[in-house]
Amino acid sequence: MSNWTAFNFGKTIGAINEGGVILFDEEHPDLARITLKRNKNFISVSLNIYGWMDHTRFFNSDADAQREYRAMRSSIHSVLDLINSNAKDIKIWEAISEFVRRFP
């Protein structure tokens, strides 16, 4: 089950942020935000787990970025579940490290 919803009620879509136009922008309640942004020179996907990490990846095509956006959004649930379960920090950092290795 996905708890992702439009960030800020979708008001950020089309906005320019750090030189790029936001195409997709979703938030997991109180835990994370994922954003796909296009600039004339790059397409990026940024995933932020509030208070834990911010991870940005760059792509050459919309198709690659959109595919990886969906994959990252699905795969981060194991980390979010650990945070929600009040797991020890080391376990959370191990899961974050594995996520970053999977999505360099």
**pTM for the model:** 0.93
pLDDT tens-digit map of 29-66: 979 999 999 999 999 999 999 999 999 999 999 999 99
User: Percent of the chain, pLDDT > 70?
Assistant: 99
Q: Name the band, by pLDDT with cuts 50, 70 and 90, for residue 15.
A: very high
Closest Cα to residue 45, out of 100, 95, 94? 100
| Residue 6 burial (CB count, 10 A) | 13
Domains, the chain, ordered by start: 5-102 (3.30.67)
What pairing do the DSSP bridges indicate for beta strands 32-38 and 43-49?
antiparallel
| Count of alpha carbons within 13 angstroms of residue 2, beta-carbon side | 12
